[in-house]
C-alpha cells in the first residue's frame, strides 16, 4: 500500500520526496525516455583518451527525466553503466524508472550498442573500459547542458563490468584524461571485479560505494578492501556493503552459473596511463594483447548469478543512505 500511495503521489504532485526512500521499497514512474544527443569517442586505452585519440561517434544513451524537474527546480542525476550482458530492462530500466520517480534524472548508457554489439566474448575484447568512460563523461557534459538537471549532483553507477569504470572515474588522472569540465559527485560499484590499481591514487574526493555478494566469485573481497584503501588514501570516503547474495542480485530471478570470471586478474595503471598485467608485465594496448592477458588470468570455475528481491530492497536502502547527502544536500552537508 505504501508503494501504491507513493506512486500516486508521483503521478499527481511531482517527486515523492526530496531524497531517496531509505526503506528500499521504491515506486516506479511511468516516464517516457528520450534518446540523448551525446557525442562520444572510442579510445581503446586510457593513454589514447589522454592523447585525444579515438574515433568520434554518437553514444547510445536513453534519458529518463526526473518527475517534477524544471529549470526552476533542476534535479540531480545518475548515469548508469551496464554489465557484460548489456542493458537490461529488469535492471537498468527498473533503476531508471525508480530513481526518476524520486526526483533523480537518469541516463542509461549502452556502451555496446553504440559500437556494433557482437557476441559476448567479442564485445569484451573490442569494447573497453576506456570507451565506457568516454561515454560516461560525454553524457555528464550533456546533462550539464540541460536546464532541468544540476549535473554537479550526478552519481556514476556501474554494474559488474560497468562498475570497474565507475571506480576508475573517481581518479583525478582519469578526469584529466577525458578533459572533463566537472567530475562525478559520487561513484557506485555494484559487484564489480577489483582488478586494477592506480599508481597515482589521487581521487576527485567524491565518495565511493562498493556493494557485493558473499556468494559471488567474481568479487575478491581482499582485493576490493585493498582498492578501497587506495581510494581512501587518495582522498575519497569509501563505504562497503556486503550481502548474502549471488552476482546480479538486482536482475532477473533466474539462477545460473556463468562459465568464467576475471577476479584473479591484476592490472596496474601507470601515471603515463599505460595499463600492464601484473603477472606477465604485458601492456594492454590493443585487442590482441587484451585477449592474451585476459585468457591467461581468467578463472574457468565460473560464478553464480541469481536475483534476490529481499537483497535488492536492502541494497536500495543502502544506496539511498549513501546518495542522499550527495544528490539532495541539506544546509551544512
Res 6 pLDDT > 50: no
pLDDT digits (tens, 9 = 90+) for 77-88: 999 999 999 999
pLDDT digits (tens, 9 = 90+) for 122-161: 888 999 999 999 999 999 999 999 999 999 999 999 999 9
- Cβ count within 10 A of residue 59: 25
pLDDT digits (tens, 9 = 90+) for 290-332: 999 999 999 999 999 999 999 999 999 999 999 999 999 987 5
According to CATH, the topology of domain 2-327 is Rossmann fold (3.40.50)
- Cβ count within 10 A of residue 310: 11
Mean pLDDT, to the nearest integer, of 54-81? 97
Average pLDDT, the chain: 94
pLDDT band at 120 (very low <50, low <70, confident <90, very high): confident
Cα(33)–Cα(66) distance, rounded to whole angstroms? 10
Res 10 pLDDT > 60: no
Res 1 pLDDT > 60: no
Mean pLDDT, to the nearest integer, of 239-257? 96
pLDDT digits (tens, 9 = 90+) for 169-224: 999 999 999 999 999 999 999 999 999 999 999 999 999 999 999 999 999 999 99
More confident call, 51 vs 8: 51
The DSSP-derived string for 124-187 is: HHHS-HHHHHHHHHHHHHHHHT-TTEEEEEEEEEEETHHHHHHHHTTBHHHHHHTT-SS--SEE
Q: How far is CA 54 from CA 94, 161, 182, 238, in A?
A: 32, 21, 21, 32
Task: Check residue 119 and give its pLDDT.
Answer: 85
Do residues 236 and 170 make contact, with C-beta atoms less than 8 angstroms apart?
A: yes
pLDDT digits (tens, 9 = 90+) for 272-293: 999 999 999 999 999 999 999 9
Rounded to two decimals, the pTM is 0.94
- Which secondary-structure segment (H or E) carries 108? strand 105-109
SS3 229: helix
Task: Check residue 333 and give its pLDDT.
Answer: 59
The domain limits of the chain are 2-327
- Cβ count within 10 A of residue 8: 12
Task: Check residue 110 and give its pLDDT.
Answer: 97
Task: Check residue 233 and give its pLDDT.
Answer: 98
Task: Check residue 73 and give its pLDDT.
Answer: 96
Beta bridge partners of 210: 189, 240
The DSSP-derived string for 58-93 is: E--EEEEPPTT--SSS-EEEEEEE-BTTB--IIIII
Cα(55)–Cα(76) distance, rounded to whole angstroms? 30
Look-up of cell digits 566474448: 121
Task: Check residue 12 and give its pLDDT.
Answer: 40
Q: Which range has the worst mean pLDDT, 3-17, 58-72, 172-186?
A: 3-17
Cα(269)–Cα(173) distance, rounded to whole angstroms? 10
Res 113 pLDDT > 90: yes
Q: Which range has the worst mean pLDDT, 60-69, 119-128, 266-275?
A: 119-128
Amino acid at each position: 500500500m505504501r508503494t501504491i500511495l507513493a506512486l500516486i503521489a508521483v503521478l499527481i504532485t511531482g517527486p515523492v520526496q526530496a531524497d531517496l526512500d531509505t526503506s528500499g521499497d521504491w515506486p516506479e514512474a511511468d516516464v517516457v525516455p528520450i534518446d540523448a544527443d551525446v557525442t562520444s569517442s572510442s579510445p581503446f586505452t586510457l593513454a589514447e583518451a589522454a592523447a585525444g585519440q579515438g574515433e568520434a561517434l554518437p553514444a547510445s544513451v536513453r534519458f529518463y527525466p526526473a518527475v517534477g524537474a524544471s529549470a526552476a527546480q533542476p534535479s540531480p542525476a545518475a548515469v548508469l553503466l551496464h554489465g557484460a550482458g548489456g542493458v537490461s530492462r529488469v535492471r537498468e530500466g527498473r533503476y531508471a524508472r525508480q530513481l526518476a520517480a524520486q526526483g533523480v534524472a537518469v541516463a542509461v548508457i549502452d556502451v555496446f550498442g553504440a559500437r556494433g554489439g557482437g557476441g559476448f566474448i567479442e564485445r569484451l575484447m573490442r569494447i573497453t573500459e576506456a570507451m565506457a568512460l568516454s561515454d560516461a563523461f560525454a553524457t555528464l557534459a550533456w546533462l550539464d547542458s540541460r536546464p532541468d538537471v544540476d549535473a554537479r549532483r550526478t552519481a556514476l553507477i556501474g554494474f559488474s563490468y560497468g562498475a570497474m569504470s565507475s571506480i576508475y572515474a573517481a581518479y583525478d588522472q582519469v578526469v584529466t584524461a577525458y578533459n572533463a569540465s566537472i567530475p562525478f559527485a559520487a561513484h557506485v560499484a555494484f559487484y564489480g571485479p577489483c582488478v586494477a590499481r592506480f599508481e597515482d591514487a589521487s581521487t576527485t574526493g567524491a565518495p565511493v560505494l562498493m556493494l557485493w555478494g558473499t556468494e559471488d566469485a567474481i568479487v575478491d573481497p581482499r582485493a576490493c578492501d585493498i582498492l578501497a584503501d587506495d581510494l581512501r588514501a587518495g582522498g575519497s570516503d569509501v563505504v562497503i556493503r556486503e550481502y548474502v547474495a549471488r552476482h546480479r542480485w538486482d536482475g532477473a530471478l533466474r539462477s545460473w552459473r556463468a562459465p568464467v570470471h576475471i577476479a584473479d586478474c591484476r592490472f596496474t595503471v601507470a601515471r603515463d596511463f599505460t595499463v600492464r598485467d601484473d603477472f606477465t608485465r604485458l601492456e594492454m594496448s590493443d585487442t590482441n594483447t587484451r585477449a592474451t592477458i585476459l585468457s591467461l588470468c581468467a578463472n574457468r570455475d565460473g560464478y553464480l548469478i541469481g536475483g534476490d528481491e529481499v537483497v535488492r530492497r536492502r541494497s536500495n536502502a543502502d544506496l539511498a543512505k549513501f546518495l542522499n547527502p550527495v544528490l539532495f544536500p541539506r544546509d551544512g552537508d
